[in-house]
Amino acid sequence: MHKVNAKGILSASNGMNLYRGCSHGCIYCDSRSKCYQINHEFEDIEVKQNAPELLETALKHRRKRCMIGTGAMTDPYIPLELDLGYMRKCLELIEKYEYGVTILTKSARILRDLDLLVKINEKTKCVVQMTMTTFDEHLCRILEPNVSTTKERFEVLKVMREHNIPTVVWLSPILPFINDTVENIKGILDYCVEAQVYGIMCFGMGVTLREGNREYFYSQLDRHFPGMKGKYHTAYGYSYELNSPNHKELMQVFRACCREHNIVCDPGKIFAYLQEFEEKQKVEQIDLFHM
């Protein structure tokens, strides 16, 4: 870990990353790609130590409230967060200034902040997003070694449902020849149905590889799946998009499940939902006034 003073904390699209780098160890992590210019050891996490102060300044001076998103580059609930508490401080500010929030994570550590998520969701909207790739718990520990298992993430989704906090699942990535099976997809979808998720984000059954994360991914294939790297080279060479040979069948299973259970699966609609700011208290007051 090393600390820096950041110049800003919110992107043009109101995204927020408190950390750069990650300790989850997911073998397919796109954030390792060189295009993101993380110019330090990936596990030597860069901490934006002035993030809460920057966020408060930004929220104070915004003319219009909005949804604040976090987790796109680095999971905000890496183990360091339990000691530093930066995410909790930022959630306190989001709740104080009555903004909405959407959080993408793979960690059950988010339950530490359930009280704040509930408060935010009572005033406006809080959406918890969970990445789920692998139904088999043993395989999950190989692909995503230092983070909550899929079953543990499913339990988080159920807790959110019990507290009326909407959820979205990212069904990605699906690794060719590894977890691209009907059994795997159906297992994850069953979790989504039981947890009554709002939507499932899926751009196809496959994985993308860029310079930086490709090399790490292949090194982990050599470590955990001997001979698999050669199979990837033969099938895909150095392609950016690696679609599963089972892509068509798996997408049919996915879409059929979403239709049957009224789960939103159009990425455009889900993105619009995540960005839509709501003021619940005012809506309730108006409804009462007109009764």
Complete domains list, the chain, with CATH: 2-289 (3.20.20.70)
Is the model more confident about 69 or about 290? 69
Q: Alpha-carbon distance 111 to 201, whole Å?
A: 22
Q: Where are the alpha helices (DSSP H) in the chain?
A: 51-61, 80-84, 86-96, 114-123, 137-143, 150-162, 182-195, 213-224, 228-236, 247-260, 267-275, 280-289
Query: pLDDT tier at 280 (50, 70, 90 boundaries)?
Result: confident
One-letter amino acid for residue 150 of the chain? T
Is it the case that residue 281 has pLDDT exceeding 70? no
pLDDT reading at 199 higher than 50: yes
pLDDT score for 291: 46
- Would you say residue 25 has pLDDT above 90? yes
Reduced to 3 states, what is the DSSP secondary structure of residue 154? helix
How far is Cα 178 from Cα 169, in angstroms, rounded to an integer? 20
Q: Can you name the residues that pair with 20 across neighbouring β-strands?
A: 46
3 state SS of 260: helix
Question: Each residue of 70-82: pLDDT tens digit?
Answer: 999 899 999 999 9
Write down the pTM of the prediction.
0.93
pLDDT band at 63 (very low <50, low <70, confident <90, very high): confident
- The answer on pLDDT for 126 being more than 70 is yes
Q: Please, which residues have CB within 8 angstroms of residue 260's CB and are 6 or more apart in sequence?
A: none
Alpha carbon distances (Å) from 240 to 2, 42, 132, 165: 32, 21, 21, 35
Residue 282: the pLDDT is 55
Res 283 pLDDT > 80:
no
